[in-house]
């Protein structure tokens, strides 16, 4: 793995964003306030990344491993963010790809998971039939950490979405407008739908052309539209700082790939309907 020789101007790297250190997003309100000017929070983007052809498979590997190890959604999103950052900044040999994928998960797990849930390096190497030594694994890990500017607390779209959900993306009078008599169950269904929509965005590198905040805002717009509410009322615009005109491209793309993909949309809409009828 070596640093890419391509011109640096092809890479959008907002290194000043590495100031943020709260691994649990506890200072999310501060993060939101400081990103309201659409800063590209910890998002690396190259129009033609070297891993474009392999990316879908790498994301599937990442999802599979995170599910197998029962890792959190935060770990998944951090893993994919690290993966895309590395492949945007470096040229990676084909034989190194799976190892890089696992090291990205390994680093994310160190940040988010309990120690008992993180496999020992020797156990990991067995999965690669000992094609790499422990020394090589540790060297790759250090090199990746260096490429990430010694910071793992990327401000992903998930952090912003959690903030929006905490604030609420459906107002009390809108429950009545929808005829919902069980707000708690309705909110749980809406939140589950929001997380699934966000997870779909991981599958498309094109979303890196938008900020993390824009993607999270687009999730809110998509979910509101799907449950029968105006996608972007003024109060949500004020909350996010985005006008519909500035968000429409991202939101429309996200809605189309979600509706066209394999998902639980039909089940979610059935749950929404049943909660309206209760």
Element (H, E) at 138: helix 134-147
Query: Are 165 and 249 found together in one domain?
Result: yes
pLDDT digits (tens, 9 = 90+) for 33-81: 554 444 444 466 666 666 677 888 899 999 999 998 999 999 999 999 9
| Structure confidence at residue 62 (pLDDT) | 93
Kindly indicate the confidence band of residue 247, based on its pLDDT and cuts at 50, 70 and 90.
very high
- Rounded to whole angstroms, the Cα distance separating 119 from 227 reads 41
pLDDT digits (tens, 9 = 90+) for 132-144: 888 888 898 998 8
**Domain annotation covers residue 140:** yes
Model confidence at 31: pLDDT above 70: no
Model confidence at 226: pLDDT above 50: yes
Show the tokens assigned to 55.
Answer: 């990316």
Phi, psi for residue 12 in degrees, rounded to 5: -95, 110
Query: Are 124 and 189 found together in one domain?
Result: no
**Domain annotation covers residue 1:** no
pLDDT digits (tens, 9 = 90+) for 97-119: 888 899 999 999 999 999 889 88
- Rounded to whole angstroms, the Cα distance separating 61 from 84 reads 14
Count of the separate structural domains present in the chain:
2
**Domain annotation covers residue 29:** no
Q: Which of 147, 166, 198 is the last residue of a domain?
A: 147
Phi, psi for residue 146 in degrees, rounded to 5: -65, -45
Kindly indicate the confidence band of residue 191, based on its pLDDT and cuts at 50, 70 and 90.
very high
Query: Closest Cα to residue 221, out of 209, 236, 235?
Result: 236
Query: Are 174 and 269 found together in one domain?
Result: yes
- Rounded to whole angstroms, the Cα distance separating 74 from 204 reads 18
Query: Are 237 and 258 found together in one domain?
Result: yes
CATH code (residue 106): 1.10.472.10
DSSP secondary structure string for all residues of 216-254 = HHHHHHHHHHHTTS-SS-HHHHHHH---HHHHHHHHHHH
**Domain annotation covers residue 32:** no
Query: Are 252 and 184 found together in one domain?
Result: yes
pLDDT digits (tens, 9 = 90+) for 248-271: 999 999 999 998 877 677 777 777
Query: Are 174 and 246 found together in one domain?
Result: yes
Averaged pLDDT for residues 146-156: 86
Model confidence at 156: pLDDT above 80: yes
Query: Are 105 and 140 found together in one domain?
Result: yes
CATH code (residue 268): 1.10.472
Q: Which of 101, 121, 147 is the last residue of a domain?
A: 147
Model confidence at 17: pLDDT above 50: no
The pTM (predicted TM-score) of the whole model is 0.80
Query: Are 201 and 107 found together in one domain?
Result: no
**Domain annotation covers residue 162:** yes
Query: Are 203 and 221 found together in one domain?
Result: yes
Query: Are 166 and 266 found together in one domain?
Result: yes
Query: Are 253 and 166 found together in one domain?
Result: yes
Model confidence at 92: pLDDT above 80: no
Query: Are 75 and 107 found together in one domain?
Result: yes
**Whole domain around residue 44: which residue ranges?**
40-147
């Amino acid at each position: 793995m070596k640093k890419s020789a391509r011109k640096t101007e092809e890479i959008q790297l907002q290194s000043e964003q590495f100031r943020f250190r709260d691994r649990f997003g506890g200072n999310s309100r501060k993060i939101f306030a400081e990103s309201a000017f659409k800063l590209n929070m910890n998002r690396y983007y190259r129009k033609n990344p070297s891993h474009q052809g392999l990316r879908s498979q790498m994301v599937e590997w990442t999802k599979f491993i995170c599910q197998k190890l029962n890792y959190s959604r935060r770990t998944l999103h951090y893993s994919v963010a690290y993966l895309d950052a590395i492949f945007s900044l470096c040229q990676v040999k084909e034989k190194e790809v799976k190892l890089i994928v696992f090291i990205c998960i390994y680093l994310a797990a160190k940040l988010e998971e309990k120690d008992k849930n993180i496999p020992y390096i020797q156990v990991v190497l067995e999965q690669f039939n000992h094609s790499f030594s422990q020394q090589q694994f540790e060297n790759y890990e250090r090199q990746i950490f260096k490429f990430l500017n010694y910071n793992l607390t990327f401000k992903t779209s998930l952090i912003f979405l959690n903030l929006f959900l905490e604030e609420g993306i459906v107002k009390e009078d809108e429950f009545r407008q929808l005829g919902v008599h069980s707000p708690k169950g309705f909110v749980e269904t809406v939140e589950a739908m929001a997380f699934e929509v966000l997870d779909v965005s991981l599958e498309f590198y094109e979303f890196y052309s938008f900020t993390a905040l824009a993607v999270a805002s687009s999730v809110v717009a998509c979910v509101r539209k799907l449950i029968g509410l105006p996608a972007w009322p003024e109060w949500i615009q004020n909350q996010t700082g985005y006008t519909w005109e500035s968000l429409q491209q991202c939101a429309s793309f996200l809605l189309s790939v979600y509706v066209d993909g394999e998902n639980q949309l039909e089940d979610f809409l059935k749950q929404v309907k049943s909660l309206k009828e209760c």
